[in-house]
């Protein structure tokens, strides 16, 4: 299902509405959490609405998609620090139920296996938030990643390191590798919300609709997900062909 909103703020409103409704129906739901610039306004709206509506998030379980290898949870550029800054510290979460891959795990392969297993132990992800990289990566599953993949260590592409260098002081210190939940882990989620905003995502979103499912563009796997919502602002939707735009769900009342 495709949704196109006029701007980032209405995207964030919609996504946090879906999230809050899911939590109200299932207070111990398992949320697949994502990071990146796209998620910042979404978490900000979510925090605001949780407070306004007095939603209890203390029973929520969260699993983050990915983490840089080599960064401790206290490193300011780690995704653990991102989650703390943009979401966790603001609400009454149970910190024992907030999981992220450990970028400093002694045995990374073993850690990845345990991470996927722990997700399954909780019964899988109920709602997976997802952003997309300019090259079509989801989580840190770079082009060419097997659709069968589970949590694993990945070498980041040069493009991804350049894209993400804006969060670091200089490109040289963007880690070369990361842990990511695999594509199969993502596809196992009951529901996926893929969010893309801004003109920099317009080409990859057009590519999503113009290509068949291919490992060369990991994002395309979502065409096979039974309950994936593609949520865009006008800028990210600006290169979509008219035939695709016409299929967008209208939420106008």
Is residue 136 within 8 A of residue 218, CB to CB? The reply is yes
Closer of 16 and 55 to ligand GLP (Cβ): 16
Which string of x and - marks every residue 112-131 that binds ligand GLP (by CB under 6 A)? Answer: -------------------x
Q: Which stretch binds ligand GLP (CB under 6 A): 32-40, 70-78, 181-189, 220-228?
A: 32-40
User: In this chain, which of 16, 22, 35, 78 binds ligand GLP, going by CB under 6 A?
Assistant: 35
Structure-token pair, residue 1: 């299902």
Q: Among 139, 175, 182, 218, indicate the residue that binds ligand GLP (CB under 6 A).
A: 139
CA distance 132 to 102: 22
Active site residue 94: no
The question of whether 40 is a catalytic residue gets the answer no
Which of 34, 60, 80, 187 forms a contact with ligand GLP (CB under 6 A)? Answer: 34
Residue 84, both tokens:
């703390």
Near ligand GLP in 51-110, by CB under 6 A = 65-66
Residue 28 bears catalytic tag: no
For residues 9 and 53, which CB has a smaller minimum distance to ligand GLP in the complex?
9
d(CA 177, CA 156) in angstroms, rounded, equals 5
Q: Of 142, 163, 190, 233, which residue is the catalytic one?
A: 142
Which of 10, 18, 26, 37 binds ligand GLP (CB under 6 A)? It is 37
List, in sequence order, every residue forming a beta bridge with 191; answer none if it has no partner: 127
DSSP reduced 3-state for 87? coil
Question: What number of chain residues touch ligand GLP (CB under 6 A)?
Answer: 14
Backbone angles phi, psi at 213, to 5 degrees: -65, 125
- Any idea what the Cα angle at residue 113 is, between residues 191 and 57, rounded to 5°? 45
Q: d(Cα 96, Cα 82) in Å, to the nearest integer?
A: 17
Q: Please, which residues have CB within 8 angstroms of residue 115's CB and are 6 or more apart in sequence?
A: 63, 99, 101, 151, 179, 181
Cβ-closest position to ligand GLP: 131
Catalytic positions: 66, 135, 137, 142
Judged by the rule CB under 6 A, the positions of this chain that interact with ligand GLP are 34-38, 65-66, 131-133, 139-140, 160, 164
């Amino acid at each position: 299902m495709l949704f196109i909103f006029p701007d980032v703020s209405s995207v964030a409103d919609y996504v946090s509405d879906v999230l809050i409704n899911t939590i109200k129906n299932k207070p111990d739901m398992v949320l697949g959490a994502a990071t990146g610039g796209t998620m910042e306004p979404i978490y900000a709206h979510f925090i605001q609405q949780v407070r306004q509506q007095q939603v209890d998030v203390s029973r929520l379980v969260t699993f983050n998609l990915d983490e840089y290898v080599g960064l401790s949870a206290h490193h300011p550029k780690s995704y653990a620090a991102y989650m703390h800054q943009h979401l966790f510290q603001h609400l009454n979460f149970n910190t024992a139920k907030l999981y992220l891959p450990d970028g400093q795990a002694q045995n990374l392969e073993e850690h990845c296996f345990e991470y996927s297993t722990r997700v399954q132990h909780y019964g899988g992800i109920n709602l997976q938030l997802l952003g997309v990289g300019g090259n079509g990566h989801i989580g840190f599953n770079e082009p060419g990643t097997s659709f069968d993949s589970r949590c694993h260590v990945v070498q980041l592409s040069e493009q991804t390191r350049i894209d993400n260098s804006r969060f670091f002081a200089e490109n040289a210190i963007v880690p070369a590798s990361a842990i990511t939940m695999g594509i199969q882990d993502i596809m196992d989620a009951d529901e996926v919300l893929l969010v893309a905003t801004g003109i920099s995502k317009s080409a990859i979103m057009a590519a999503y609709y113009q290509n068949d499912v291919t490992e060369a563009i990991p994002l395309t796997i979502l065409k096979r997900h039974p309950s994936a919502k593609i949520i865009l602002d006008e800028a990210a939707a600006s290169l979509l062909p008219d035939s695709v735009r016409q299929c967008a769900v209208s939420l106008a009342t």
